[in-house]
């Protein structure tokens, strides 16, 4: 924005943002989207856990608008140094442990990163923001990326989650994200930190690690391996194409009301089994298998403990206040996604490392066929 007085470092606050978790699925898509849409610099702080992958950002190699820093959001001294050096106008906070099944096997890292890590980040942000000069202080935002899973589960026919729905988390992952939402809310109410929170539904699209439903089904289908559907497969999720999520975050960052929460959804409620069959049909069309339809690989396995039956997001507040609606239908988004996995076999091969295979053994090895 023009008209800002330069900060003490001599640079305006308005040309840089700090993104946490930008080497993960949504964060990497967001960095590509952000630089293409705004031309601004994104400083990307990511610990490169199993879910972080710099190959997802390869197209930005050598571009000075992407500054990668390997580190933990819980390392307050590091975050303080980055904020002081780069003087961002916003923090967009994606970094998290994000996989429900992993949170069932090992909840400790979820509490560590999602709760303690968010606390440390909020404190560093507060220390940076409080002494900023007036216009920079007014301009700064802390955008917290959260999930619809904090709201718990819905029965068939119940209205979709609005922003007023109580937090009723059921998995260790959901509970840790709910805790982080509460911290963010409290840092606004108590200290005045200018926060906005987004709670989005299930994302899908390029660069998603193949431990989540859609990429797992694509890569297993291509390899002729079983497609493990938990329980009866009638659990319902609301699917959001990742680039639509990115555009929603840009809108909320620029025009969202401070202290508010915005739900982001794709208006695409579908049972898992339907998603799996759609992927099978697309694979049959785009990469036919001489052994027969990919649907022959569908295998019902033991259900996830405490499995939430249905999530549905009511995203009308975002539409009413900021005019945002998703651009993709599920049909257009899933076709793009399957094509992306077909066209990026190297990316897929490189993430299927030894630790990925160990995870498949841990999560699927003990599941009897249902």
Catalytic residues: 148-149, 173
Please choose which of ligand TYD, ligand NAD, none residue 177 contacts, taking the beta carbon within 5 to 8 angstroms, the exact cut-off set by kind. ligand NAD
216 interacts with, out of ligand TYD, ligand NAD, none, CB within 5 to 8 A per kind: ligand TYD
The item of ligand TYD, ligand NAD, none sharing an interface with residue 49, based on CB under 5 to 8 Å by kind, is ligand NAD
The site for ligand TYD (CB under 6 A) is made up of: 100, 202, 212-213, 216, 228-230, 235, 237, 272, 304
User: Which CB atom, from 125 or from 301, has the smaller least distance to ligand TYD?
Assistant: 301
Environment class of residue 262 by beta-carbon count within 10 Å: exposed (0-12), middle (13-18) or buried (19+)?
buried
Q: Which residue is nearest to ligand NAD (CB)?
A: 24
Token couple for 41 = 């610099």
For ligand NAD, the closer of residues 31 and 222 by Cβ is 31
By CB under 6 A, tell whether 263 contacts ligand NAD: no
Alpha-carbon span 109 to 102, nearest angstrom: 10
Q: Which of residues 168-207 bind ligand NAD (CB under 6 A)?
A: 177, 200, 202-203
Nearer to ligand TYD (CB atom), residue 66 or residue 310: 310
Nearer to ligand TYD, 41 or 272 (CB): 272
**Contact with ligand NAD (CB under 6 A): which of 26, 83, 276, 282?**
26
Q: Which does 48 bind (CB under 5 to 8 A by kind): ligand TYD, ligand NAD, none?
A: ligand NAD
Least Å distance, CB 27 to ligand NAD, is 5
**By CB under 6 A, which span of 24-32, 134-142, 186-194, 223-231 interacts with ligand NAD?**
24-32
103, interface contact from ligand NAD, ligand TYD, none, CB < 5-8 Å by kind: none
Q: According to CB under 6 A, which residues from 115 to 144 bind ligand NAD?
A: 117
Contacts to ligand NAD by CB under 6 A: 20-21, 23-27, 45-49, 51-52, 72-74, 94-98, 113, 117, 145, 147, 177, 200, 202-203, 209
């Amino acid at each position: 924005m023009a008209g800002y007085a330069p900060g003490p470092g001599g640079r305006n606050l308005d040309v840089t943002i700090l993104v946490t978790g930008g080497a993960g699925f949504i964060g990497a898509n967001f960095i590509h989207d952000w630089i293409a849409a705004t031309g601004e610099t994104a400083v990307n702080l990511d610990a490169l856990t199993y879910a972080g992958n710099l190959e997802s950002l390869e197209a930005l190699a050598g571009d000075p608008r992407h500054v990668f820093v390997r580190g933990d959001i819980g390392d307050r001294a590091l975050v303080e140094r980055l904020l002081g050096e780069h003087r961002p106008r916003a923090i967009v906070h994606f970094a998290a442990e994000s996989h429900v099944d992993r949170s069932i096997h090992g909840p400790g890292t979820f509490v560590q990163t999602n709760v303690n890590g968010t606390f440390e980040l909020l404190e560093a942000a507060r220390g940076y923001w409080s002494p900023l000069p007036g216009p920079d202080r007014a301009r700064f935002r802390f955008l917290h990326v959260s999930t619809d899973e904090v709201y718990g589960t819905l029965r068939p026919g119940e209205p979709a989650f609005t922003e007023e729905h109580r937090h009723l988390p059921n998995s260790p992952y959901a509970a840790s994200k709910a805790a982080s939402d509460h911290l963010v809310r409290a840092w606004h109410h108590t200290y005045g930190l200018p926060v906005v929170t987004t709670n989005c539904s299930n994302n899908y699209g390029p660069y998603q690690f193949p431990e989540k439903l859609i990429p797992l089904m694509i890569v297993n289908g291509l390899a002729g391996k079983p497609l493990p559907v938990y329980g009866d497969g009638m659990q319902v999720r609301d699917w959001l194409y990742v680039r639509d999520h990115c555009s929603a975050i840009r809108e909320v960052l620029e025009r969202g009301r401070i202290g508010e929460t915005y739900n982001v959804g794709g208006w695409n409620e579908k049972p898992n089994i339907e998603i799996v069959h759609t992927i099978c049909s697309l694979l049959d069309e785009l990469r036919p298998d001489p052994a027969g339809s990919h649907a022959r690989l569908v295998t019902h396995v033991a259900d996830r403990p405490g499995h939430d039956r249905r999530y549905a997001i009511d995203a009308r507040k975002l539409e009413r206040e900021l005019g945002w609606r998703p651009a993709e239908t599920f049909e257009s988004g899933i076709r793009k996604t399957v094509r992306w996995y077909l066209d990026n076999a190297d990316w897929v091969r490189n993430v299927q490392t030894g630790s990925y295979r160990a995870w498949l053994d841990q999560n699927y090895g003990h599941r009897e066929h249902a």
